[in-house]
Structures are given as C-alpha cells and as structure tokens.
C-alpha cells in the first residue's frame, strides 16, 4: 500500500513542493523543510576517530593470528616474457619456509608487464619468505615489448595481447546532434591536444590479506572496498576444495585507502587461503610497496584531440573529441562524460580507443576517466576564452544550465563570489614580474547512483536505550560508520552516542554495497532510515498501548518520546526503551523504494576555483588557493564531507602538478615505483582550501543523500591548468604541469 | 645474492639506506665501504658497532623498552624496529607503508625524538625509550594532539594518522608554542594519501591552544 507524501525540494532560491508516493513500511523524504537536529548540522566526531588516533584500529595489515605465516610474492622483472618456474626445491629448503606456490598452472605463462605475479613463498617470518622467494628458479624468454603509447599504435610494434594494440580497432563513437552542422554554425574554432599522465593509486595500506581456516570455514581479513565480492571470489577460486560461500567470512574493519583499486579477492588472496588450508596455519600476504605500485592498478593516461566550435559570444555550437586512453596491458577507460555533460552543447561527437602497452593494468581511480576529460574540456574552453579575449568564468557560466536538482549555475556563481573572481581575474598573461599569478575555474558532475536493492540494514533497539545499526558495507576512510550513525540518530530522534554501527563483516549476513562509484551513501542511508523507522514503530506501538493512542501519534526528538496530540504525554528515550525489559526490537529493511519524481536525478554537481603562482625563472607552479563548491544532494555528515572534499582537491592538485608514473621505455619498467620519486603532495604543497557545501534537496532517495567520494576529485586539475594558462598567457596542455614544461612553454611564447 | 628479484628487492638491495644500515648492524661493513660518502653520524655508529661482539645473522635476544615496559624478544639483527614491533610484539599502531623512509607512517619516538621505524634496526633501539602511538596517551587521557585530530576530523582512512600524530606531538613536546610553519616542517616527511592535510593544520592550531602557554 503506497502512501502519499509532500515535501519541499531544490536549493536556495530554487525550491518547489512535490508530491510522491512510497510504500507504508518505508519512511518519507526529509526534504528542505524538515527540522534537522543532526543531519548536515553538528560536528559529529568520526565514530572510529579514537581508534585511529591511538593506534587501536586494526587494519587487515595489522591482523596477527597465532602461529601465522608470512608470505611474499615473486613477480616478473621483464615487461614481456614467457616464463616457467623450473625449480622450487632450493627455495623450499630455505629456513622457515612452509610453502612455495605458483600463480599460473604449471608455473608457466606469459608476463605482459614487469610486475606480473609468478609465485608466492610463505615462511615463519617475512624475512625468511623474502629470502626464499629469491631462490625460486624461473626461466624467462624475454619478448619484444612496447611501453610508449604512441609507438604502440604503430602496426609494426610488438603486440601486447593477442589482438591489436588499439582497441577497439574502430573507434567507438558517442554522438549528440550533428557535429558537422555545429561547426558550420561556429564563428570561432579552437583546437588542441591535451594529455594526462598515468597515476598510481599508492594506497598507504597495500593490497593483501590474512587467511585463516577453522575446519571447513575460512576467515579472510582483506584490505578491500568490497567484502562481498572478495567472499564470492575466494569461494569460486577454491571451489575445487569444496569451499562454498557460506563457509567464507570476509572482514574489513579498517581500510588504509583504496580509491577504486581494491574490489576483488586478488589472485594472492585466493592463493593465501589455499596455502593456509594446505599448511594448516594462518597466512598473511600484504604486497610490498614496489609490487603494489606496479601491479595493483593505476589511473590510465589519455591523449585527447579536442576541437570546439562557438559563437562569438562564447556559446558552444560543437565539440569533437578523438581520445586515446592508456590502460596498460588490460582494462580500459573513457574520458567522454565531462565533454558531454559538464557544459551545454547540442552537437557532440566523441571517438575513443584504448591503446594497450606492456605496463600494469589500470583500475578504477576516483572518478574513472573524469579528471582526464575535465582537464580536456576546461583547457579547451580556456583557450576559447583566450581567443575571444573573454573572461573564462563568464564564458563557462554562459554554457551551463540548471534545474531544480542541478545547481551548477548557482554553484559556479557562488564560487566566483567566495573566491573573489571579479577582483582577481585579469587578461591572460597580462601580469608583469618574475612571479605571475593566475586564476581558473571548472565545474563537476558525477552520477552518484544509489542501488535500491543494494543494502540490507538491521536496526536493533535494546532496553537500555542503546541501538545497533548493521550493514555489510565497509568504511574505506570516508566516514561510512559516522554517516550511518547520524542518519539513525536523526531518524530515531536521539543522540549519536546511543548508536553503535556494525559493518565490515560478511558474517553479519546483511548484504552491503561495495564502496565505489560514490554510491555507498545513496545505497545505504535510505535503508538505515527504513530499518530505524520500522524498529521505532514497534517501540511506539508498545508506548501507544500505554498512552491509549496510535503509534503514528508518537514521535521522538532530541531524546524525548512524545505524543503529538497530547503534549503532556512524554518520556525519555531511555525510559521508552526500558519498556522492552529483557527483550529487544529488531527490524531489517531490504533496500528502498525510489520515490518516482519527474526530473529527479542522481547527479552531484559543483564548481572549483583555483589560484596559482608561477615562478617564471624556475618554472615552478604553486597552487595557493582552492574554493570548492560542492553538493552531494543533502549533506549528511558535514565535517566528514568537508574532509573528503579537501582530500579530493589535494588529489587534484597532485594530478595537476606532481604525480606521474614514469616508465623507462627501453627497460620496460617503472622508474619511480615508490613514494620517494613518485611525488605525492605533502602538507607543504597543500593550498588553502575553502569548502562550500550546497544542500540540494533531491527526492532521489529518502535521505536526499548522494555520494561525495568522486565529484570533487574531478575538476581540480582542470581549474589549476586554466589558472596556469591565465598566469603565463600560454596553455600547458600536458599534465602534470612540471617546471620543465612551464619553462619550455614560456620559451615558445617568447619565441 | 639473489637469483631472482622479489619485486624490486634486488635493486633496493644495492641502494637502500636501510639495507646498508642493516649491514652496519651486523658489523659486516668494511672500512672501504664506509669511505663512500656516508654521513659522519652513521660512520661513528658503524665504528662503535664494530667494537661490539658480532651478533647474528641468526636470532639474537634483545631487550626493548617500549611504552614504559621492557620486552624480551628474539629477532634477527637485520629486522627493523618496525618489523619487530609489528610482527613479533603485535604493536601495530606504527604502519608499514613505503618501507624506505619516504612516508612517515612508521614514526615512533626514540628517547622522545621521532624516527622512522622502518629505517631503525631493532637491535640498535635497545637501551632507548621507545614510544609508539599506543603509548602516547596517559591512560585514558589522550595527548592534546590526539584530541585535536579527533576534533578537527584529521583522519580519513587513518593509516597515516599514527605517524602524523607522533611527529606533531613530538614537535609540541619540544616547543609548546611551535608555529604553524614549524609544525608543517615537523610533518613534512609524512604522506597522507587521502589528503587530510587541511584538517591536520586545523588540528595543529587546536593542539597549540591546548598545549601552548
């Protein structure tokens, strides 16, 4: 039976009332006119902050089990080679060694990049395991390889895989309108080739796990963004042992960074569990830094040939992009969305291909393809502004439009005000002096789609007033526990201190989403609400009997349960819970119903403004300030959201100015597979960041919450690139913007 | 030497400071090796160790004073303090991340001075007061820097947090009124991959308010 509701949606200056229906056992939207006590308001400390600052938080890497073995992997040192493990006897005789296993059947196969997994050694200590791995005899037949993507496109180059190096052979095209017509209408055309680098995830906690058997059951503490996909992968990987998934338990209580690279069981996860079974002892295998860097994923580079057509007033008429993405030996990427969705244009054609090379496989990295595409479109627009001698903010503002749920024009304007764009903006390259300053802006968009059947949440109310909210998701550092507690506390009308959140364990038996795609909040938060709603109604029914009223007449706010019709009838939450005596109330909600409201969308939008200073003598660029305006629908955990936005911005600064996986094209190996020569920004490279969170009430889910991990990570690089162009009057089209490129550009400019 | 590289271990063998220091620890370094431009401190350390009895390469007993307790532990001389803490004593607050002194996640105090646990041999940490993140709070009373990290939400994944907290708190222990620039300097050898620096700077200000005179 569906129930009709009304609420107010939209954002400041653009709201409207709507009607919608959802089933009776689910709760309605909070919306813009709800009297929030906690959601989006208070600075709620991260639920696990004490554990994290005292070292008590146990990450998978920190799990030490009695009698545990330590394992290391052996990888191929060549970019392309047939290999065969010929002799493990010497390794097996090394002190402390308990197991030598190979990854491929028969210990042979073809390595397609330097870092390919070959074997694993397990021993009493990590030192002994390392010693043993070096004694494994492997025959290599080194094959021709190709590292440089431009070379790889040449038909005469060595083939990385069986097919050609350019995939698909014919570019896949996405079309909107008529791009040729659009260019005919254009009064001005700009063209440029923009390239972005390969970045490594460099998660501080490397990939790996601890596996331990108890009879037929295996427990795996895995550093993962998806405990369920790991459990499924371990079960299918060991099905020959008769293992079924109901005997696999995966635990991830704390996770030291994933950024999109940690979803599967990994071959070493399966092997770890296998060795633990064979030897009859727990096994820990966490990758070393080198292997993690070269093996466990990266963000693909790209080369984008961009052509824009526009009217003299700056309105876009056509966008044509031919893009090549560089995912290594496997994987793929697309830079299309920022070109198609960030700005309004009726005529678009995007053609894309992947160019395979003998390098580590790409994995999802915080908004796959988006920072790349954003750099391309923002820089091309910047060059259009330069050509038209227009202010680039004015040009960009002219090409965005909004709706009740898409606040990007509002956000762009708000950001310009907060940033002081008018005062700071000046003609490109017009500043004199050694140090030149520049400003740039960029917009962002990400579909933070909630999975309506993606989560089961259990809410348990105990007689002492304490509450447990449980779901089979995991917290990779976003503040998932805190977000769930805030939603539960708001729904129940009590303090966050009452709430315990249980996650990160498949044994909870509660399906949960993988932490990826900025989907965890929109997938779990509405179900948290529904579970709490159902649990509290059961409690309210008990109270209603006592007060001779209906459960629907009862509510709870700020820890006081009261009758809406009789204001004298009230009691504390604790007293209400005490009515349960020796029992507890449990309610489990499976998924949620999407309120079907026309125009509602899952997009999270925003705009960023960057200020840079460029030393024209050294070529060094410093990003000094960022203003990040961002919505994630209705923000739930405000403090944690700010932290996440700042983190995304800093990763964007890294993309713009610092990080670069550098390959030796002759040796076929990464030159900087570490944290020393691969430059991740530190505290001294951090700009002054101002976050401006905009609440956009969108009836997409009952909390209005959308994901935030990815959206603010998209536009920073483009904004900084534009600011550099503004400072020196010449665009640098190749990320990262390092001093050599700045000096070369200045030299070209001076001529 | 190895037949096959483990990851990049073969290269690292040749160049890493830690492995060099491990060599020093086992008294295997000849005078010739020392003439290749090593810092004076390391030289003195190496010379001093040559005067000690040769120990290892097998297991040797060690006594480590950690967070006010003496631990008797058997470990190989080549094991770093970080490895012994984490793998032999289950003190896992200090994290293993880069294993090369680039990221600071393993930071502990030796006699109150922050050091990289991954660049310190356990055997050389004997006789010194070792403080890890687990020993920073006084019972249930958190260190002001820990409190400030909580208030400023200066953790995301939290893997770097113990290291940052140990370096920042050491800086304030030395100078309760340390400036923001001094605090930046004190944690400039650390990496936070989630990019929580903005909140750490906020925490630094909050902590100074709690500690400073």
Q: Looking at residue A529, which CATH number applies to its domain? A: 3.30.365.10
Please check whether residues B37 and B133 belong to one and the same domain. Answer: no
Q: Is B3 on the interface with A (CB under 8 A)?
A: yes
Q: Is residue B114 part of a domain?
A: yes
Q: Is B116 on the interface with A (CB under 8 A)?
A: no
In a shared domain, residues A526 and A662: no
Distance to chain A for B31, nearest Cα, Å: 27
Are B201 and B163 found together in one domain?
yes
B95 & B30 share domain: no
Residues of chain A numbered 367-426 and touching chain B (CB < 8 Å)? none
Q: Determine the 3-state secondary structure of A466 from DSSP.
A: coil
Last residue of a domain, one of A558, A592, A626: A592
Phi-psi region of A422 (alpha: psi -120 to 50; beta: other; left: phi over 0): alpha
Q: Please identify among residues 73-92 of chain A the ones whose CB lies closer than 8 Å to any CB of chain B.
A: 73-75, 77
Instruction: Using the predicted structure, report yes or no on whether residue A639 has a pLDDT greater than 60.
Output: yes
Query: Looking at the partner chain, which of A45, A127, A136 has a beta carbon nearest the beta carbon of B76?
Result: A127
Put simply, whether B97 touches A (Cβ < 8 Å) is: yes
**Set of chain A residues whose Cβ sits within 8 Å of the Cβ of B184:** 683-684
Which ipTM score applies to this complex? Answer: 0.97
φ, ψ dihedrals at A151, nearest 5°? -65, -40
Which residues of chain A neighbour B200 with C-beta distances below 8 Å? 683
What is the overall mean pLDDT for chain A? 97
- Residue B34: pLDDT above 80? no
Domain of A680?
402-449+595-751
Collect contacts of B20-25 with beta carbons under 8 A, ≥24 apart: B21/B119, B21/B121, B22/B77, B22/B78, B22/B80, B22/B121, B24/B49, B25/B49, B25/B56, B25/B77, B25/B78, B25/B121, B25/B123, B25/B124
Name the β-bridge partners of B66.
Answer: B69, B130
Q: What is the pLDDT of residue B14?
A: 36
- Say if A226 falls within a structural domain: no
Q: For chain B, what is the domain count?
A: 2
Q: What was the pLDDT predicted at A434?
A: 97
Q: Is B7 on the interface with A (CB under 8 A)?
A: yes
Domain end, chosen from A592, A614, A649, is at: A592
Residue B89 maps to which CATH number? 3.10.20.30
**Residues A606 and A652 grouped into a single domain:** yes
Q: Do residues B89 and B188 share a domain?
A: yes
Residues B153 and B206 placed together within one structural domain of the fold: yes
Residue that finishes a domain, picked among B53, B73, B90: B53
Query: Would you state the structure tokens that stand for residue B5, as one six-digit string?
Result: 């590289």
Considering only alpha carbons, which residue of chain A is nearest residue B5? A134
Interatomic CA distance for residues B2 and A407, integer angstroms: 60
Give me the mean pLDDT over the A274-298 stretch: 98
Domain-embedded: residue A234: no
Give the predicted TM-score (pTM) of the model. Answer: 0.94
Which residues of chain A from 551 to 610 reach within 8 Å of chain B, CB to CB? none
Cβ distance B155 to A49 less than 8 Å, yes or no, reads yes
Do A523 and A646 fall within a single domain? no
Q: Enumerate residues 151 to 190 of chain B having a beta carbon within 8 A of any beta carbon in chain A.
A: 151, 153-162, 165, 184, 187-190
Distance set, CA A689 to CA A253, A463, A648, A714 (Å): 30, 45, 11, 16
pLDDT at B56: 82
- pLDDT tens-place string over residues A405-445: 999 999 999 999 999 999 999 999 999 999 999 999 999 99
Q: How many angstroms separate the CA atoms of A589 and A584, rounded?
A: 16
On the question of pLDDT at B28 being above 90, the answer is no
A738 falls within a domain: yes
Percent share of chain B, pLDDT over 70: 75
Listed by number, the residues of chain B in 117-136 with a beta carbon closer than 8 Å to a beta carbon of chain A are 132-134, 136
Within a domain: A522: yes
User: Is pLDDT of B42 > 90?
Assistant: no
Same domain? B44 vs B105: no
Q: Which residues of A615-644 are buried (b: 16+ CB within 10 A; e: fewer)?
A: ebeebbbebebbbbbbbbbbbbbbbbbbbb
| pLDDT tens-place string over residues A200-229 | 999 999 999 999 999 999 999 999 999 999
One domain for residues A627 and A672: yes
A572 in the same domain as A524: yes
Q: Is residue B92 part of a domain?
A: yes
Collect all residues with Cβ–Cβ distance below 8 Å to A121 and sequence separation of at least 6.
A71, A72, A74, A91, A97, A99, A100, A129, A130, A132, A133, A136
Residue A519 pLDDT more than 80?
yes
For residues B48 and B67, state if they share a domain: no
pLDDT digits (tens, 9 = 90+) for A682-692: 999 999 999 99
Which residue in A163, A108, A171, A166 sits closest to A140, CA to CA? A108
In a domain, residue A65? The reply is no
Question: Is A720 found in the same domain as A692?
Answer: yes
Cα–Cα dist B93/A215, whole Å:
31
Q: Which of A561, A592, A623 is the last residue of a domain?
A: A592
Tell whether A79 is covered by a domain.
no
A504 and A608 inside one domain: no
Query: Do A408 and A508 fall within a single domain?
Result: no
Which residue range is the domain that position B47 belongs to? 6-53
Same domain? B76 vs B100: yes
Alpha-carbon distance A461 to A387, whole Å?
Answer: 64
Same domain, A504 and A621: no
The answer to whether the CB atoms of A61 and B92 lie below 8 A apart is yes
Contacts of A405 (CB under 8 A, 6+ apart): A9, A10, A599, A600, A601, A603, A696, A698, A700
Test mutation, B2, B17, B97, B150, chain A, max A CBs within 10 A: B97
Distance from CA of A18 to the nearest CA of B (A): 36
> Is residue B58 a part of any domain in this protein?
no
User: Are B103 and B159 found together in one domain?
Assistant: yes
Beta bridge partners of A606: A444, A630
Over residues A570-580, the pLDDT tens digits come to 999 999 999 99
Examine the domain organization and report whether A556 and A527 are in the same domain: yes
In a domain, A553, yes or no: yes
Q: A751 pLDDT exceeds 90?
A: no
- pLDDT value at B69 more than 70: yes
Alpha helices (runs of H) in chain B, residue ranges in sequence order: 9-15, 17-25, 31-34, 40-50, 81-83, 144-151, 161-174, 180-186, 197-211
A61 to B95: CB separation less than 8 angstroms, yes or no = yes
Q: How confident is the model at residue A596 (pLDDT cuts 50, 70, 90)?
A: confident
> Do B195 and A646 count as a contact with CB atoms less than 8 A apart?
yes
CB-nearest to A134 from B4, B142, B189 is: B4
- Predicted local distance difference test score (pLDDT) of residue A2: 82
Confirm whether A217 is domain-assigned.
Answer: no
Q: By CB neighbour count within 10 A (0-12 exposed, 13-18 middle, 19+ buried), where does B139 fall?
A: exposed
Minimum Cα–Cα distance from A647: chain B residue: B195
- Does residue B1 sit within a domain? no
Same domain, A602 and A746: yes
Q: Which tokens belong to A640?
A: 């944690």
B54 pLDDT tier (thresholds 50, 70, 90): confident
Report CB contact under 8 Å: B102, A676.
yes
Say if residue B202 is in the same domain as residue B105.
yes
**Residue numbers in B near A66 (CB within 8 A):** none
Whether B173 is covered by a domain: the verdict is yes
- pLDDT band at residue B45, thresholds of 50, 70 and 90? low
Does residue B60 sit at the A interface (CB-CB below 8 Å)? no
Q: Clarify whether residues B102 and B26 are in a common domain.
A: no
Shared domain check, B163 and B73 = yes
Residue with tokens 């890497």: A61
| Residues in A touching B187 (Cβ below 8 Å) | 682-683
Locate B30 and state its tokens.
């000849």
Q: Is position B176 within any domain?
A: yes
Q: Within this chain, do residues A568 and A462 fall inside the same structural domain, yes or no?
A: yes
Count of the separate structural domains present in chain A = 2
Domain membership of residue B154 (yes or no) is yes
């Amino acid at each position: 039976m569906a129930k009709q509701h009304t609420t107010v949606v939209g954002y400041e200056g653009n709201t409207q009332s709507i009607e919608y229906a959802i089933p009776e056992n689910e709760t309605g939207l909070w919306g813009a006119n709800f009297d929030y006590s906690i959601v989006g308001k208070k600075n709620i400390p991260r639920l696990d902050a004490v554990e994290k600052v005292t070292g008590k938080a146990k990450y998978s890497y920190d799990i030490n089990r009695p009698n545990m073995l330590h394992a290391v992997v052996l990888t191929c040192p060549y970019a392309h080679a047939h290999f065969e493990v010929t002799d493990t006897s010497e390794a097996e005789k090394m002190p402390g060694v308990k197991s030598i296993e190979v990854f491929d059947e028969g210990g042979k196969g073809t390595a397609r990049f330097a870092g390919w997994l070959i074997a694993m050694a397990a021993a009493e200590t990590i030192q002994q395991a390392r010693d043993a791995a070096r004694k494994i005899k492997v025959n290599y037949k080194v094959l021709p390889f190709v590292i440089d993507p431009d070379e790889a496109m040449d038909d005469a180059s060595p083939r990385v895989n069986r097919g050609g190096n350019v995939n698909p052979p014919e570019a896949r095209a996405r079309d909107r309108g008529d791009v040729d017509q659009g260019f005919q209408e254009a009064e001005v055309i700009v063209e440029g080739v923009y390239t972005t680098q390969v970045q490594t995830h460099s998660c501080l906690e490397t990939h790996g796990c601890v596996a331990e058997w108890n009879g037929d059951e295996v427990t795996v503490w895995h550093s993962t963004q998806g405990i369920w996909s790991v459990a499924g992968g371990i079960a299918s990987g060991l099905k020959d042992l008769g293992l079924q998934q109901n005997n696999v338990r995966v635990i991830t209580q704390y996770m030291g960074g994933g950024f999109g690279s940690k979803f599967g069981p990994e071959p070493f996860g399966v092997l770890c569990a296998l060795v633990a079974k064979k030897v009859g002892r727990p096994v820990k295998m966490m990758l070393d830094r080198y292997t993690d860097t070269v093996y466990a994923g990266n963000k693909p580079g790209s080369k984008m040939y961009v052509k824009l057509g526009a009217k003299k007033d700056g309105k876009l008429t056509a966008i044509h992009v031919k893009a090549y993405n560089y995912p290594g030996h496997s994987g793929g990427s697309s830079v299309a969305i920022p070109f198609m969705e960030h700005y309004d244009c009726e005529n678009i054609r995007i053609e894309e291909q992947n160019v395979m090379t003998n390098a580590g496989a790409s994995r999802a990295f915080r908004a796959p393809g988006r920072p790349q595409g954003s750099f391309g479109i923002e820089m091309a627009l910047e060059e259009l502004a330069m050509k038209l001698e227009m202010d680039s903010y004015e040009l960009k503002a002219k090409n965005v439009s909004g709706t009740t749920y898409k606040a990007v024009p509002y956000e762009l304007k708000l950001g310009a005000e907060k940033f002081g764009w008018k005062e700071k903006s000046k003609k490109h390259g017009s500043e004199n002096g050694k140090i030149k300053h520049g400003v740039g802006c960029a917009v962002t968009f990400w579909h933070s789609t909630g999975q309506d059947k993606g989560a089961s949440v259990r809410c348990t109310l105990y007689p002492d007033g304490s509450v447990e909210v449980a779901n089979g998701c995991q917290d990779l550092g976003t503040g998932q526990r805190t977000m769930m507690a805030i939603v539960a506390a708001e729904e129940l009308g009590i303090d966050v201190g009452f709430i315990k959140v249980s996650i990160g364990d498949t044994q909870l038996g509660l399906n949960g989403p993988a932490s990826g795609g900025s989907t965890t909040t929109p997938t779990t938060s509405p179900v948290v609400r529904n579970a709490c709603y159902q649990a509290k109604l059961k409690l309210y029914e008990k109270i209603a009997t006592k007060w001779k009223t209906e459960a629907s007449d009862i509510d709870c706010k700020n820890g006081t349960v009261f009758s809406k019709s009789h204001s004298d009838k009230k009691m504390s939450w604790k007293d209400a819970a005490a009515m349960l005596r020796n029992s507890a109330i449990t309610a489990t909600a499976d998924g949620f119903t999407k309120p079907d409201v026309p125009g509602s969308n899952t997009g999270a939008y925003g705009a960023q403004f960057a200020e840079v200073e460029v030393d024209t003598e050294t070529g060094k660029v410093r990003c000094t300030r960022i203003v990040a305006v961002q919505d994630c629908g209705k923000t739930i955990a405000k403090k944690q959201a700010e932290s996440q936005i700042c983190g995304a911005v800093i990763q964007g600064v890294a993309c713009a100015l610092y990080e670069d996986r550098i390959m030796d094209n002759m040796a076929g190996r990464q030159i900087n597979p570490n944290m020393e020569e691969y430059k991740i920004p530190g505290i001294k490279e951090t700009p002054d960041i101002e976050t401006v969170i905009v609440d956009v009430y969108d009836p997409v889910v009952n909390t209005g919450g959308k994901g935030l991990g990815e959206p603010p990570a998209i536009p920073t690089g483009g904004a900084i690139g534009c600011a550099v162009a503004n400072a020196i009057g010449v665009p640098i089209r190749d990320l990262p913007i390092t001093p050599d490129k700045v000096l070369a550009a200045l030299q070209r400019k001076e001529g | 030497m190895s037949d096959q590289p483990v990851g990049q271990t073969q290269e690292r063998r040749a160049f890493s400071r830690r492995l060099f220091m491990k060599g020093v620890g086992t008294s295997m370094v000849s005078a010739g090796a020392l003439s290749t431009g090593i810092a004076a401190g390391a030289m003195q350390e190496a010379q001093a160790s040559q005067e000690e009895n040769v120990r290892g390469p097998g297991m040797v007993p060690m006594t480590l004073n950690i967070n006010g307790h003496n631990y008797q532990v058997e470990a190989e001389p080549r094991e770093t303090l970080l490895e012994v803490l984490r793998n032999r004593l289950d003190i896992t607050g200090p994290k293993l991340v880069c294993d090369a002194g680039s990221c600071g996640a393993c930071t502990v105090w030796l006699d109150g001075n922050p050091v990289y646990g991954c660049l310190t041999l356990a055997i050389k940490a004997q006789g010194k007061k070792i403080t890890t993140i687990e020993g920073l709070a006084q019972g249930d009373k958190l260190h002001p820097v820990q409190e400030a990290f909580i208030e400023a939400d200066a953790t995301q994944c939290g893997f770097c947090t113990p290291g940052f907290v140990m370096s920042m708190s050491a800086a304030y222990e030395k100078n309760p009124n340390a400036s923001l620039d001094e605090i930046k300097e004190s944690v400039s050898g650390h990496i936070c991959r989630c990019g929580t620096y903005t909140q750490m700077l906020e925490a630094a200000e909050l902590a100074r308010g709690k500690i400073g005179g």
